[in-house]
């Protein structure tokens, strides 16, 4: 919500402005979430009750925006939206540069992208 408010101030008159902190395209974001869902479905099909979620690596604290503490929130959202039929807990989130290469997401762009968005607000 705060990000949307900031963008409305930067881009007045636009109710919708497509953005994400990684500057990933819609197709990249869709492929990433499909991969996360697939990891949960694979665990569910094998009868597992927990998994190690492998996500792209980001060169920032806690691997934000796919932070190492977000596993329970992801698991809960997938379960409550009936994407998984059973609750699969995330015992660990493992950042992997292999996922960065797979989705063509740079681990170093996040901080630069955040600075670009917020520096416009601070300068004006």
- Break the chain down into helix, strand, coil percent, rounded to 5: 50, 10, 35
pTM exceeding 0.75: no
Which H or E run includes 119?
helix 109-123
Predicted pLDDT at 116: 57
pLDDT digits (tens, 9 = 90+) for 80-112: 999 999 999 999 999 999 999 999 888 766 556
pLDDT digits (tens, 9 = 90+) for 20-66: 666 678 898 899 999 999 999 999 999 999 999 999 998 877 787 78
How far is it, in rounded angstroms, from Cα 124 to Cα 11?
Answer: 12
């Amino acid at each position: 919500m705060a990000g949307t408010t900031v963008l409305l101030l930067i881009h007045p008159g636009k109710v919708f402005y497509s953005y994400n902190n990684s500057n990933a395209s819609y197709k990249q974001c869709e492929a990433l979430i499909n991969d996360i869902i697939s990891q949960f479905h694979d665990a569910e099909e094998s009868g597992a009750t927990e998994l190690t979620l492998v996500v792209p690596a980001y060169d920032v604290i806690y691997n934000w925006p796919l932070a190492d503490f977000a596993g329970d929130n992801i698991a809960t959202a997938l379960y409550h939206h009936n994407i998984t039929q059973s609750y699969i807990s995330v015992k660990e989130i493992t950042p992997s540069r292999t996922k960065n290469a797979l989705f063509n997401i740079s681990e170093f762009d996040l901080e630069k992208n955040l600075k670009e968005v917020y520096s416009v607000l601070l300068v004006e």
